[in-house]
Structure 1
Amino acid sequence: MSVKIDHLFFIGMLLFFSLSCKNNQNVTTTKISEEKKPNIIFIMADDLGYGDIGSYGQTKIKTPNLDKMASEGIIFTNHYSGSTVCMPSRASLLTGYDQGHASVRGNPVWTQSGNPVNLKPNEPTVANELKKAGYKTAIIGKWGLSEGTAKGNMPSNHGFDYFLGYKTHGEAHHYYWDTIYKNNEPFILKDNNFKLKQGKYTHDVFVNEALSYIEKEKNNPFFLYLALTIPHLELTVPEDSKEPYKTLGWPKRKMNTKGHYKNDKEGNITYAGMVSRMDRDIGTLFEKLKELGIDENTIVFFTSDNGPEYEKNDHFFNSNGDLRGGKRDLYEGGIRVPFIANYPGKIAPGSKSNHISAFWDFLPTVCDLAGVKPSNKDINGLSLMPELMGNTKAQKKHDYLYWEFNEKQGPIQAIRKDEWKLVWKLEGKPELYNLSKDIGETENLVLKEPEKLNEMLRILKNARTEHSEFPLETRALAIKRRSNK
């Protein structure tokens, strides 16, 4: 009897340990799966128009890799940059604040004091948030948030483990600049001469560094902010990128070659060659992800920091499609930008979204991806995760989006609420547009829609916080005040 009981007991124990081990294995597998955070790559072009790539309507410039990225992922048709110029746009992207609440609201010299305003010391950024989740973080390319002589505003002060690129805007205007930065120290490209356009094309330096970084960090969750400078003036590109466009009989556009920007002589072929070179290199980046076997665990975003400058007056490429204006405008052409996201197996191929979103949504979106909460509770951004994953019904919507801009023609403010857009100029009349019917902002509806105008003006009144360096007055007054001191 006891032998039989012992035998049954032994069999029972075997079953117990067998099931226990199996269950533990499942728990471990699930835990590993839950902890496997996606790599995040954010690619930003510089002054690329809404319509400069094929998936947004471009017909002359060839962008097969970006078009493939779009066909295998999602494109947003109502996505907006942080600003209509570089520095404040990048600040909004990194911090989650719109231009009514950001610490940086203008380019370096357009401040009340005449001194550049950078990010606040230790101001949390996307990189800070991702480091909390165990990410390696890098920016390669154009930083542009360490202007002037102020210290403590390098990428390393804002959550980035690694940096190779331009520290300031002026340096980033030249593709053969000889001194970039590696982390906090100057990095010399010894054979470069920007005046003669000799040496290494800095765009190529950044792309090669990005590929090396991905290879190095392939076993870690990483965030790579690849801030390219194409196609910002100056317009110049190695000859091999011009070849496909030289025999097409395009009209010539003569460029100024002796000013601040050391442009190539002919603009149209050069511009197309620059955009296609960027597209080629983005294709190489996707190939690298696949080669390393990390493509399915990497989400890649692509956008532009604001609207185009090269095509603002000459519309050979129709860089903005039907949109009005370009860089330094708060019309759609200055702030509506392409936005593509690719995440194999997670984002449905061929998706298109008309959800209204902006740069300040990026920070809460990556926090969602990484499983952390934003440090600042008052940011203006909303996570785009539901929209990215096809759950449109669960996607939170903005009450409105807000911008302000204050250079020679300023100050200008703009509000977008649903299909309505208000453009307010301090020294002009309010402009009200219905974008669902008039994407080109051609018909001012102020007289036809007085109730809607009043609603938008009430929103505008409370859309911003005061900032001593960015008051809503003409810059001419600030310049006069400084000269009288």
Structure 2
Amino acid sequence: MKKRNTISNTTNALGKMKIFSICVALIFCSNISAQSIDKGAERSKPNIIFILADDLGYGDVGFNGQDKIKTPVLDKMATEGIVFNRHYAGSAVCGPSRASLMTGMHTGNSSVRENPKWTKSGQPVDLSLNDVTVAEELKRADYNTGIIGKWGLSENLNEGAPNLQGFDYFYGFNKHKSAHHYYPETIWENDKLITIEGNVTQDKIGTYSQDLFTDKALAFLDNQTSEKPFFLYLAYTIPHFELTIPEDQKAQYSNLNWPLRKMKMAHYRHDENGHVTYASMVSRLDKDVGRILNKLIEMGVDDNTLVVFTSDNGHEYDNLKDEFFDSNGIYRGKKRDLYEGGLRMPFVARWPNKIKPGSATNHVSAFWDFLPTACDIAGVKPTAKINGMSYLPALTNAENIQKNHDYLYWEFNEKRGPMQALLKDDWKLVHFVNKHYELYNLKNDPSELNEISSQHPDILKQLKAVLQIARTEHPEFPLIKKELKK
């Protein structure tokens, strides 16, 4: 039997298998009714653009209090749309967070619960043909679908590939390590690995990947017609390490006499001046969001397009012992923490005439809510069992009919892991497995500074019981201490 080890070797066979699986699921799922879509109604379905930053902290944007880094486009989005004050990532690192976003499952039930090498076997786990993604759900409503940027859910280059997960078009990185660099020498376009002429990764020469992604996103939008709605998942890599940006884009921060945080080159080909580079990268991200919004106006589809902006997990750059940007705001922790700084995300959404300008909500939502929200917008029901629930009512200022989660759950097993976290109402439980529990009341102590488990044994007992039922077992992701296998 021929070994399947590349996207091009598997696309046809796996695609047929997936189509068959979906057909069988639709036939036998008694709770899913047949969809009859009128062509006129089809054209009026809202477009959806989901823009994801990489390692951007809650406090890195102006609408959440940032005063050093300029984010005028995102701040204007906040005045024209809605800010979610309590929106949570799927995980404290990117791979499982993105899997949660795509499948509507939290890390206690998802097929991808850690980054590639943090598995029991040391082999990466990707999305499988059994997973049903938001793109596949939207295809049922006849959406054109595209993913541009960092996918990171097809390390094995087979059935996790975006074109086998509901996306009509893909341009970007299948693997995590490739996404670590901003001058890639190769990149995937659908199932072909193409060469980027003139790029030298080690020397940071050639075309900056942010330019590639934004240009491809604008081209994707140019290719849309009024016949079908579209879904674009624009997964930028800024401001993930490595910290680098063309020199001419540092002008607004270069002469501010900020203290030098000197960065060293190794695997990440950092520019030397960390503070200036980081701020410049975030502002560049902001500027490109503006290009996308302007394109929608130019196309005449602005009023019928929901644009969401958020980040995949907490920041990595700012030094918690000597904070300069206060990237986590008032919250404790950063990337790889299950405290609020690792999980609570900046979130802003804009949808003219649907979202009340300048509004905000404290509705508790998470990445696994995006799939049912997109389905709600498109007028279809999720085909698979999921953990998420639609936040469309909160988006559109109809919180009187918004359903709320009983709890949110996370698990994480890198370095200091295994860890679990549970959020129920105002109570937050952080469990260092086989070590200790920490209990916080976020209403009274949003910064998680006062551990109060001894003062509330009844609450501790209740939340510990929920932990026992919040997850299912997975052979590659047991909650036992793991060492990174190289």
Query: Structure 2 length as normaliser, TM-score?
Result: 0.90
Report the structure number with the largest CA radius of gyration: 1
Is 1:205 aligned to residue 212 of structure 2? yes
Aligned AA (1:211): L
Alignment of 1:119-138 (within 5 A): 119-138=127-146
Once the two structures are superposed, residues 3-33 of structure 1 have per-residue CA deviations (whole angstroms, 9 ceiling, x without a partner) of xxxxxxxxxxxxxxxxxxxxxxxxxxx9835
Aligned AA (1:216): N
Distance 2:312 2:429 in 1: 21
Shift of 1:183: 0.1
Secondary structure of 2:345's aligned partner: coil
Distance 1:326 1:264 in 2: 22
Is the CA contact (8 Å cut-off) linking 1:84 and 1:307 kept in structure 2?
yes
Alignment of 1:377-416 (within 5 A): 378-416=385-423
Shift of 1:312: 4.2
Shift of 1:35: 5.2
Shift of 1:215: 1.1
User: 1:343 — aligned with what?
Assistant: 351
Secondary structure of 1:475's aligned partner: coil
User: 2:373 — aligned with what?
Assistant: 365
Secondary structure of 1:40's aligned partner: strand
Is 1:184 aligned to residue 182 of structure 2? no
Distance 1:122 1:443 in 2: 43
Shift of 1:286: 0.8
Shift of 1:429: 1.6
User: 2:256 — aligned with what?
Assistant: 248
Shift of 1:427: 4.1
Distance 1:461 1:146 in 2: 30
Secondary structure of 1:422's aligned partner: strand
Is 1:456 aligned to residue 445 of structure 2? no
Aligned AA (2:252): P
Shift of 1:331: 0.4
Secondary structure of 2:455's aligned partner: coil
Distance 1:103 1:404 in 2: 13
Shift of 1:398: 0.2
Task: Extract unaligned runs of 5+ from structure 2.
Answer: 1-37
Shift of 1:343: 0.3
- From 440, 453, 466, the equivalent of 2:447 is 440
Secondary structure of 1:447's aligned partner: helix
User: 2:331 — aligned with what?
Assistant: 323
Secondary structure of 1:414's aligned partner: strand
Aligned AA (1:271): Y
Is 1:116 aligned to residue 124 of structure 2? yes
Aligned AA (1:379): I
Secondary structure of 2:188's aligned partner: strand
- From 295, 300, 304, the equivalent of 1:288 is 295
Aligned AA (2:261): R
Once the two structures are superposed, residues 137-169 of structure 1 have per-residue CA deviations (whole angstroms, 9 ceiling, x without a partner) of 000000100113x52221011000000001100
Is the CA contact (8 Å cut-off) linking 2:136 and 2:166 kept in structure 1?
yes
Aligned AA (2:361): S
Distance 2:155 2:319 in 1: 27
Shift of 1:202: 0.5
Is the CA contact (8 Å cut-off) linking 1:65 and 1:279 kept in structure 2?
yes
Is the CA contact (8 Å cut-off) linking 1:312 and 1:325 kept in structure 2?
no
Once the two structures are superposed, residues 341-399 of structure 1 have per-residue CA deviations (whole angstroms, 9 ceiling, x without a partner) of 110000000110000010000000000100011011x2000001111111111000000
Shift of 1:238: 1.0
Shift of 1:428: 2.5
Distance 2:361 2:79 in 1: 13
After TM superposition, which residue ranges in structure 1, 4 or more long, deviate above 3 angstroms?
Answer: 30-35
Is the CA contact (8 Å cut-off) linking 1:52 and 1:318 kept in structure 2?
yes
Is 1:67 aligned to residue 75 of structure 2? yes
Secondary structure of 1:430's aligned partner: strand
Count the aligned residue pairs: 447
Aligned AA (1:317): F
Shift of 1:240: 2.3
Distance 1:159 1:393 in 2: 33
Aligned AA (2:247): E
Shift of 1:34: 7.3
Task: Extract unaligned runs of 5+ from structure 1.
Answer: 1-29
Is 1:50 aligned to residue 61 of structure 2? no
User: 2:424 — aligned with what?
Assistant: 417
Shift of 1:243: 0.3
Once the two structures are superposed, residues 85-127 of structure 1 have per-residue CA deviations (whole angstroms, 9 ceiling, x without a partner) of 0100000000000011100000000001110000122521000
Distance 1:95 1:325 in 2: 26
User: 1:306 — aligned with what?
Assistant: 313
Shift of 1:426: 1.4
Once the two structures are superposed, residues 174-209 of structure 1 have per-residue CA deviations (whole angstroms, 9 ceiling, x without a partner) of 000110100011021010011000000011100011
Distance 2:177 2:343 in 1: 22
Distance 1:329 1:427 in 2: 17
> Identity percentage over the alignment?
56
Secondary structure of 2:147's aligned partner: strand
Distance 2:475 2:39 in 1: 49
Query: Structure 1 length as normaliser, TM-score?
Result: 0.90
Aligned AA (2:396): M
Aligned AA (1:323): Y
Is 1:166 aligned to residue 173 of structure 2? yes
- From 428, 433, 441, the equivalent of 1:426 is 433
Is the CA contact (8 Å cut-off) linking 2:42 and 2:229 kept in structure 1?
no
Is the CA contact (8 Å cut-off) linking 1:241 and 1:276 kept in structure 2?
no
